[in-house]
Amino acid sequence: MDFPLWLWFAFTAFVIALLAIDLGIFHREAHVVGFKEAAVWSVIWIALALLFNLYIFLAYGKQAGLEFLTGYLVEKSLSLDNVFVWMVIFSYFAVPAQYRHRVLFYGILGAIVFRGLFIATGVTLLNLFHWVVYVFGALLIFTGIRLAVRQEEEVHPERNPLVRLTRRIFPMTSGYHGQKFFVRDGKRLMATPLLLVLVVVESTDVLFAVDSIPAILAITRDPFIVWTSNVFAILGLRALFFLLAGVLGIFVHLHYGLAAILVFVGIKMMISEFYKIPIGISLGVVAGILLVTILVSLLVPGGVRRPLQPADVGTNPGHTRPEEEDPAPGV
């Protein structure tokens, strides 16, 4: 497909406007995002994605429309692991509930930028070196198998090198100062623990992108479809977190479904030179795997899924006492 340059600019402007409205109007003041609010925003983000998908169908044909829908579904499903990790990070750093949306807003803003860089790199490599197809395919299959067989794990944010680097660069306050990342103590600029949380959120998304970008490149190599489906999936992540944070653990077999999706798209990529699986079949397989996994999780008892846990909560320098008062100016 040949998407015109004006559509790239129009889509970018649309996303910037959505983010500005989100933070500048609806979430200007820090507050706890409840289930009802999260549900409304989830519906809004999904509806916007489906409306855009309809436009792609009508303007650029069935193939482009199915590629966008499949890519969006793959990225949305793979992003569920982000929600698990965010829960661990917020628990580890004892982030007050009313400040979590702000962290996720800037985290997703950074994720959009990094995903764009990864997409540009991935598409360029595939166009220049055909053998990269097999590398990406093998990476997806390996990741899927590892996800299926992994046991309960622990997360150690204090081992993140970016966290250690941030603490060396900026003096840290002893607790949170509202939803600010920086405050001034006299003439000295100090970072709050909320900045550490943002650094961990950003760095973990980069790791997830290593899996998700090759996965969607197995569905389509059109940069516009890859980019827009990724962005729409990422934009809905914050609402998805607040919607599912309390109940996502009941989907005890979800990681098997995600693993199966990764293996499927990995195989699809590796055999693409010899046989191209029709996009309609790919969409059916991905949707079917997700549906079966969710139904099995609900019908077959298996406890509560806890694949990731914070290690040594309360015994590390990143775990700080929240400060509700906000005496210092900051950002």
* 187, burial (CB in 10 Å: exposed 0-12, middle 13-18, buried 19+): exposed
Q: Is residue 173 part of a domain?
A: no
Please measure the distance between the N-terminal and C-terminal CA atoms of the chain and give it in whole angstroms. 43
pLDDT in the model for residue 318: 46
The pLDDT, as a whole number, for residue 52 is 96
* Per-residue confidence (pLDDT) for residue 320, from 0 to 100: 46
| Strand 188-191 versus strand 182-185 pairing type | antiparallel
CA nearest neighbour of 225 among 78, 60, 80, 108? 60
Q: Is residue 189 part of a domain?
A: no
The first and second tokens of residue 210, run together, are: 């290593």
> CB of 82 within 8 A of CB of 234?
no
Residue 14 belongs to a domain: yes
Which tokens is 16 given?
Answer: 């910037």
**Residue 122: which of 44, 222, 46, 33 has the closest Cα?**
222
Task: List the domain range (segments joined by +) for residue 35.
Answer: 5-162+197-310
Residue 329 included in any domain? no
Phi, psi of 310 (to 5 degrees): -75, 135
Query: 258 and 81 in contact (C-beta within 8 Å)?
Result: yes
Of 293, 217, 294, the C-alpha closest to 260 is 293
Instruction: Specify if 295 maps to a domain.
Output: yes
Rounded CA gap, 196 and 181, in Å? 9
Are 241 and 104 in contact by the 8 Å Cβ rule? The answer is yes
Indicate whether 316 belongs to any domain. Answer: no
Per-residue model confidence as pLDDT tens for the chain (331 residues)? 678 999 999 999 999 998 888 777 777 777 778 888 888 888 999 999 999 999 999 999 999 999 999 999 988 888 777 777 888 788 888 888 888 888 888 888 888 888 888 888 888 888 888 788 888 888 888 888 887 886 555 566 667 788 888 888 888 888 888 888 888 887 788 888 899 899 988 888 887 777 788 888 888 889 999 999 999 998 888 888 888 766 666 777 777 888 888 899 889 888 887 888 888 888 889 889 888 988 887 787 655 444 444 444 443 444 444 444 444 445 5
Distances (CA, A) of 258 to 89, 127, 205, 221, 287: 21, 27, 17, 21, 11
Per-residue pLDDT at 155: 60
Query: What's the domain count of the chain?
Result: 1
- Residues 195 and 240: their CA atoms lie apart, in Å, by 22
Residue 280 forms part of a structural domain: yes
> Is residue 320 in a domain?
no
